[in-house]
Amino acid sequence: MTASASTAPTPTSSALTAKPLRLRRMGIDTYQEPVLYMHRDCHVCHAEGFQAQSRVEVRLNGRAIVATLNVVTGELLALDEAGLSEAAWRLLQAKPDDSVSMHHPPLLESMSQVRAKVYGRRLNQAGLDAIIRDVAAGRYSDLQLATFVTACAGDRMDLNETIALTRAMVNAGERMQWGDGLVMDKHCVGGLPGNRTTMLIVPIIAACGLRMPKTSSRAITSPAGTADAMETLAPVDLDVPQIRRVVEQTGGCIVWGGGVRLSPADDILIRVERPLDLDSQGQMVASVLSKKVAAGSTHVLIDMPVGLTAKVRSDAAAHRLGHELEQVGKALGLHVRVVQTDGVAPVGKGIGPALEAIDVLSVLQGDAAAPQDLATRALFLAGQILEFGGATPLGQGLAKATEVLASGVAWAKFQQICEAQGGMRTPPVAPYQQPVLARHSGTVIAIDNRRLARIAKLAGAPNTPCGGLYMHVQPGAVVERGQPLFTVHAATPGALAYALEYAGAPAEAVHVMEEAL
């Protein structure tokens, strides 16, 4: 979720003397960043000293946003016009030819805390509260957000800072309350393409009588997040009353958390983390657990895949991260249980929003060709949650989860959830597909999760839902020269060519040990 428009304070004297500008919708997609466009010779630019990349407060009908200025030359804009990107237009709820006033934004005092972190100082609760309040209010430019994200990357946040950051992120948004009783949740640390178990687990848990209102983020460094995949099957951008209605009707939901201002600063930070390809441990812990606290969860199971090309690469790293998740959860009143799982290879066959959703449907529908590794992993985790929540005795969770899936009860519950969220739909299919073939005969000895994820992203995932790739092999498979290893899916010829060029690089995503002559 991006910044929200705030109530505008009293204009400064300089702004009151400036002639308002007429708004123009530029039709430019700047993702979630509000961008303002003005002519270089505009009287406001001259009067206020605005230059390219200046931060400008734009006010309209009592609403205000802070936008980054792009300066225009030529005839694209008249001298008395101000153009807005799509994100800025939505936030201001603007109409064509509305008149707006421009102002210098208030001094961003919290940037002093960010600079202190850059130079190695620890941040306390007050400092992080100030930073996150400003982030959530949209006062940080993407450049300033990137500075904060980078300053906290690596091992630069200790446990106390991570707890403080998590609290600050919770306090900056709304919190859901579910009354008495347990509220179950689950999160995967990530780094394992295709691991779309949540969409199987939620209907199983809900069918067993436990509440599981699942709010998910969109992808940060992966080709798809749960919200991205679920969105190809049903609406995920629900508000709090809609989520409550769905959960009351069905016992569960699978929605995008950014649409309801649950830890809203997290979604703004994700906007910058994605292109930077950064997902540091402290910020990841704060991101995950702030959403769980804000969503009203009481019990959270963390799936932690471990493998050489997964996000968590060793048992030692898994232990450190698991300990931090448990300690931060405890500090915020959450019961957190961490389960370490195999992170050697992708899970399922599809990598990318629509392809992963198709895998989920095949498992729920009992298709004979459904990926069994996805079903097995989801059932194991669902069994752990059933035991964690007391729905079954210890040791009997897996059997109960298997029964619910095999009987079709989970499929019926999933359809009910989709209908309650706004109606079930068919995931899109990519119009351009091309297989990547084995260069020689042999045995698949390793799969590089990171390279596969990069190929899927170059093919358009997650922004293009049908983009990604479909796996034909797993480690241990025996292949012949010329046999497909995976098929790249794309919405355009350009995206397909871009992904195939990377897939054909000398460093292979699927390693085949050549047969001895």
Residues 326-333: contacts with CB within 8 Å, 24+ apart? 327/159, 327/163, 328/159, 328/162, 328/163, 328/166, 328/285, 328/286, 328/289, 329/289, 329/292, 329/300, 331/163, 331/166, 332/163, 332/166, 332/167, 332/170, 332/289, 332/293, 333/293
Q: How many CB atoms lie within 10 A of CB 265?
A: 29
Strand order in the sheet with 442-447: 478-479, 442-447, 510-514
Which one-letter amino acid corresponds to residue 287?
S
Q: Is 373 left (phi over 0), alpha (psi -120 to 50) or beta?
A: alpha
The sign of the dihedral angle between the CA atoms of 434, 436, 439, 444 is negative
Q: What is the dihedral of CA 28, 220, 421, 300, to 10 degrees?
A: -160
Q: What is the 3-state secondary structure (H, E, C) of 80-117?
A: CEEEECHHHHHHHCCCCCCEEEEECCCCCCCHHHHHHH
Contact (CB, 8 A) for 163 and 175: no
Within 129-242, strands assigned E span 184-188, 212-216
First to last CA, the chain: 57
What does DSSP assign to residue 265?
Answer: H
DSSP string, 439-474: SSSEEEEEE-HHHHHHHHHHTTTTTSTT-EEEE---
Is residue 279 annotated as a catalytic residue, yes or no? yes
**Residues 279, 303, 359, 373: which is the catalytic one?**
279
Do residues 378 and 226 touch, judged by C-beta distance below 8 A? no
Count of Cβ atoms closer than 10 Å to residue 217 Cβ = 21
- Catalytic site residues? 279
